[in-house]
Each structure stands twice: as C-alpha cells, then as structure tokens.
Structure 1
C-alpha cells in the first residue's frame, strides 16, 4: 500500500513527495529529526519529542516550520490516513533549499524550512521478542562531533556502528570515549549493580533521550535507586544486568558485551520491570 506522507503543508502519496536537490539536509546534513512511537493508534511521549525538537531547532538557530503548532494534528492525521495501530512517525525539519549550495546559512526571512513526516507500520512493536531474550552489544570508539545532545540527521557513524555490530555477530554497539560508555548507536545505555540503576548524566556528550527521562522518572517513583554518572565497559561487564532505552524499543535488556555475559547472560528483573511500567504508564498518557 502506498503511504500518505506530509511535506510542507500537503498530505501526498509517498511517490509524489519531492524535496529539492539543494535542500541543506541533503547537501550539509543541516536538519534535525524526531521519531514518535504509536501504540494502539496513539502517540507515545509526544510532548517530550516536541520540546526536544524545539530545543534542537534553537541550538542550531534554525527557523521553526510554519506548521510547528499544528504538529500534533498532523501526526494524528497521518496515523489515521495510514491506519497505524503500532508503528513510528518520523519527522524531519531542515533549514530548507535556498537555491544553491553554500556553507553560509541562508537568510531565514527568504528561506522556509522543509518539513517532512512519514509513518512506518511496525506490528508487534510493543511485543518485541528481544525483550525476553536480550541483545548482544559490542563497544566501539565514539568519534562523533561534540554536540550529540542535538538530534541532527548526521547519522553516518551510528549506522557504521550498527554495521560493525552486525559483522561481529552482535545486535548493536555502545560507543566509548575516554574509557567511558557514552550511549548506544540510537539509544541510551544503562547498567544495574546491587539494585542501583547507573546511566550517564546529561551533557552535550549524549542525546537527552525522551524515553530515558520517562524511564528514570518511573524508576524513582518505584523507589529504585538511580545514579547518573559515566560508567566503563569493564563496569558494564561486571554489572548484574544492563539495558538500553529508546523511543522505538522502549526498554530492552543487554545480555552480552564484547562477548562477555552480563550477569547470568539472561534479561534482568530491573529491565523487565521498567519495561512493564513504561509501557503501562505511557499508554495511559498517550494522545
């Protein structure tokens, strides 16, 4: 079935949606994005994604698209038009297409941002089988730019990291800088030791995950101890359990790092409980 997508004010068949070759996201990776999960036909953590989008735009001095205040209704319309029960909505804002390639930002008064949204149907999103089996990760050097807190479309190295993991027979990669884990290729990383949840503190070193914020909030409300600090790969290997969070995977256990079992090599109880709480509470608040 041909999807209906959104492009600069219009709902179009995906085969008819066109973006200029001069768009700065295409030429300069000059764009930001968000991915919102859909469960039961409703949007998960939408307000958090919208606030982070606004922050990313501000950090890059990028103009808001004219339809910014209508993004909730656009998301809902796409869910309806594409009959999405479980899946994802991808949103991208770029600095636009000024008419020719130039390193200098175009005048925001004469260039409108490009706004694109499309859906991805993912039946069974909330019942990911890896939540019961866990995943394997490898560690790789983090060589990305220094503003990882901005959710830009510069995703080449994370893509390379996932390919490195695949070639090594693993599922994903955790990036390491100065001996400490920063984050996964598309997720925030955690370990659990003696009942304590440990995850890297917020800074420009990592993306400020929307699911991360919700999971930590729910963890504290459940009287779990949370410590926000960097941890090493060796700490992770010696942990009782490990897991990651993301908007599309929610909470998933990590059972192996660089070939070493985490704990007894099976998903831990903390990750399992946090996944249950997150899905239950997020569905209650879905819009």
Structure 2
C-alpha cells in the first residue's frame, strides 16, 4: 500500500507527488529540513523541531510555508493516514520554484513537503545493545552547520566511507577536534563526566542533544561542553551519539580502537532509558 505524503497543501499518494524541476531545493540545495520521531503513534519533541525549523528559515532569510499549528496538524494527519506507530516524519521547506539564478528570487512561494517512514522496533533497536563502530574523517563541510540545510552530500559520503571500512558511521574532525557524526551529535564519558562539543556554527544544535543533556543534569550526572580529540575519545570510558532516529546510541570502537571495555557502557544505557521514558511521557 502506498504512503500518503504531503506536498504544498495536498495529501497525495507518493507515486503522484510532484515538485517543479525549478524548485531551488533541487537546483541549489536551497532548503531546510527536520525529522521528528514517532513513538506509540505520537510525536516526540515536536516543539523543539518546530523552533529549530524557524531558526533555520530565519538564518537563510526564507519564508515559512505555514504556521507551527498547521505543521503539527499535518504531522498528525500523516501519522494517522499512514498508521505509523514507530518511525519518522520528514519535513522539508525550500525557497520555492523560480528560474535558475544564484540570487534569491523575490516572489517565490516556499515549497513544503512531508512524508513518513515506518520503522517498527525503533525504540528496541538491537544496535543499542551492541554499540556502533565509527571511523574519523576530515570535516570539509561549509561553515554554517548550525543551519539544518538539505546539503547532505558530504555526510552521505562519510557514511559510505564508514561502511567501506566495515563500520557504522563516521565522526568528523576539524582542527584536531571532533565536530559531530554524519547525522548525530558525538559524546564521550570519562571519569563519570559526559563530554560533548559546545554549540556554535560548527555543529548542529541537536534537539535530542538538548533533551539528553537536560535529563543528564536532572539525574545529577556531570556534563562538560567542550571540544575533544579522537585520541581522547579512544581513551574514554564510554562514547555515544544522539539523534532523533537513534536516541542515545553507544559507540564501542573508534578507528579500530575499543572504547573502554569495548562493550556498551552504563552511562549511555541509562541515558537511553531515561530519554525514551521521559519523551514518551511528553509525546503529543
């Protein structure tokens, strides 16, 4: 059965979905996106994603396609129409269709596309019991990684580099320090302290990151926001990543070196448990 997707005001079968070939998201990667998790048929941290979407649009001087209230209704309708219990809702806003030009068009109407991805077993992923293996790669992306744009070619390349090396993901390194994973924020744990890079233009302000750090502090865990190196990560007691699709995912190996015991550690496991419990309570 085909998914129902949303394209510029209409709910249509995915095979009938159409966007102009002149859409700047297609021609210029002139667009932003968000991915909201669905658990038990409800949306996780929708408000956080909506606020970050607004920030991304503002940073690119891009008009919103609709209000936050309308976005919420579209999300809920898609979850309902596609019977999603566990999965994701992907949202993309572009500057719209206009004749190809590097200058922003003055009167283009923003394009808005949403679709669901059904992912049964997302919360009980076996990977969380095994842990991920990552490699390090140079971070050669543009300088405004704090804007959640659709420019995802290099992260895709990084993911493929990791797979070619027999690993699950890549951590990107700039000026000797880890920035983030290809689609997640990166963390290490040393002597009971959770360490993750401070916010700035170099990394995305993860919605899951914000929630996990808040829960960690509420649980009396020590948190330090600063840069760290690959060698420091290899010498850590634990490592993990966070994202909307993986929640809290342990990392057990970095560039062929086992982290800690080489097994999933207690801090990452506990944070994953807390995150899932608390976010399920707050889901809408």
If the length of structure 2 is used for normalisation, what is the TM-score?
0.99
Name the counterpart of 1:96: 96
Name the counterpart of 1:54: 54
Does residue 73 of the first structure (1) align with residue 73 of the second (2)?
Answer: yes
Name the CA distance, whole Å, in 2 between partners of 1:158 and 1:40: 30
Please state how far the C-alpha of 1:150 moved relative to its aligned partner. 0.2
Name the CA distance, whole Å, in 2 between partners of 1:175 and 1:111: 35
Does residue 158 of the first structure (1) align with residue 155 of the second (2)?
Answer: yes
1:182 to 158, 170, 179: 179
- Structure 2 unaligned residues grouped into runs of 5+: none
Name the counterpart of 1:17: 17
Does residue 114 of the first structure (1) align with residue 99 of the second (2)?
Answer: no
Name the CA distance, whole Å, in 2 between partners of 1:276 and 1:69: 30
Q: Is contact 1:9-1:67 (8 Å) kept? A: no
The 5 A counterparts of 1:257-268 are: 257-268=254-265
Corresponding pairs, count: 284
Name the counterpart of 1:193: 190
Please state how far the C-alpha of 1:198 moved relative to its aligned partner. 0.2
Output the aligned Cα RMSD: 0.6
If the length of structure 1 is used for normalisation, what is the TM-score?
0.98
Determine helix, strand or coil for the equivalent of 1:63. coil
Name the CA distance, whole Å, in 2 between partners of 1:162 and 1:75: 28
The 5 A counterparts of 1:204-243 are: 204-243=201-240
The 1:106–1:68 alpha-carbon spacing in structure 2 relative to 1, beyond 3 Å, is farther
Measured against aligned partners, the alpha-carbon deviations of 1:64-94 in whole angstroms (never above 9, x if no partner) come to 1135430001000000000000000000000
Name the CA distance, whole Å, in 2 between partners of 1:167 and 1:195: 33
Name the counterpart of 2:272: 275
- Structure 1 unaligned residues grouped into runs of 5+: none
